[in-house]
Structure 1
């Protein structure tokens, strides 16, 4: 009879440890997933801030460079793509498009010394640079969270718990397209 009690105690301890492991792993996965979602929210806030700055920036440049219609259209189109983007991949593609359009816009601004000296334009440009820095910081935070979550989901034995509760790996937010880095934006006057 004492061997049955010992066996039951051993089974009970193993069962408690297994349940404890599952609960701890599940809670860790939920925490990581929430951090990734929070980081994505931070990115979307900064992207919204930037899209709100762009019309003012375009209008400042338009006053000086009225014949640069194609550049303004590309910036407007890229801004719309950011606002309509759904998910990480679409947002990253729209980011690439906007980055190229803004490079063209600033290249146009370089051709107009009065515009470069305009206080409003300089302030908008500085706010945009500040926002870009915040977007980069948010992107790094998001990608760090994605890395941690994906690592936990893919490593043993946490991958068993992740599979049981249908945790999915998240996509990294990678903006730079190698082709756009190697081939700078061409601006024609």
Structure 2
């Protein structure tokens, strides 16, 4: 009888520990996703300043203004719940915007003289670097969380109590297509 009580206590403690690990990992994923959203929304502030500047050069590059407006819309529509898939359109929009700015500066050298435009372009690139770092942390937290609900005994604890689903990490299919090496998994 005492042995059963000890086994029950040990199992209860194990379940308690794994329950807390899963909850903690899930909360880290949500916090990391919030960081991604924060950096994406900081880009909106830069875009708000950049938009009227580009509008002034609309004769030179009308598509650039559309890209800025589209990127702002994509950022504001990101879900508050962690979702790496939803981030793909924002990532593509940022790359298109940066490419458009570079093309505009190369095609129209007189734009290079505008110090404000140069500073804003640097700020957009810096914000993109911040987003990249936040995505890396997000994906690490997603991996940790997904492992915690897939590996035994966490999988059992999750199935019986929390019923959390796997979180989709962010992946960039365009970037990975540029690599010759393909892992064999």
| Number of the residue aligned with 2:7 | 14
Q: Does 1:79 align with 2:72?
A: yes
Normalising to structure 2: TM-score of the pair? 0.84
| Number of the residue aligned with 1:3 | none
CA deviations on 1:131-178 (whole Å, 9 max, x unpaired) are 11111110000000000110111111211001112122111022x332
CA positional deviation for 1:60: 2.3
**Equivalence map 1:82-93=2 (5 Å):** 82-86=75-79, 88=83, 89-93=85-89
Q: Which segments of structure 1 move beyond 6 Å, counting only runs of 4 or more?
A: none
Give the unaligned 5+ runs of structure 2: 179-185
Q: Which of these residues, 111, 118, 122, is aligned with residue 114 of structure 2?
A: 118
| Number of the residue aligned with 1:142 | 138
Q: Tell me the secondary structure at the aligned position of residue 164 of structure 2.
A: coil
Q: Tell me the secondary structure at the aligned position of residue 170 of structure 1.
A: coil
Preserved CA contact (<8 Å) 1:64 1:112? no
**Equivalence map 1:40-51=2 (5 Å):** 40-51=33-44
Normalising to structure 1: TM-score of the pair? 0.83
| Larger CA deviation: 107-116 vs 20-29 | 107-116
CA deviations on 1:64-102 (whole Å, 9 max, x unpaired) are 352422332133123212212335222322321332233
Q: Flag the 1:39–1:179 CA change in 2: closer, same or farther, 3 A.
A: closer
CA positional deviation for 1:109: 2.3
Aligned length: 174
Q: Tell me the secondary structure at the aligned position of residue 86 of structure 2.
A: helix
How far apart, CA to CA, are the structure 1 residues paired with 2:167 and 2:3? 39
CA positional deviation for 1:114: 2.4
Give the unaligned 5+ runs of structure 1: 1-7, 183-189
Q: Flag the 1:21–1:180 CA change in 2: closer, same or farther, 3 A.
A: closer
Preserved CA contact (<8 Å) 1:61 1:109? no
How far apart, CA to CA, are the structure 2 residues paired with 1:169 and 1:83? 24
| Number of the residue aligned with 2:169 | 172
Q: Tell me the secondary structure at the aligned position of residue 172 of structure 1.
A: coil
How far apart, CA to CA, are the structure 1 residues paired with 2:63 and 2:130? 28
Q: Flag the 1:128–1:171 CA change in 2: closer, same or farther, 3 A.
A: same
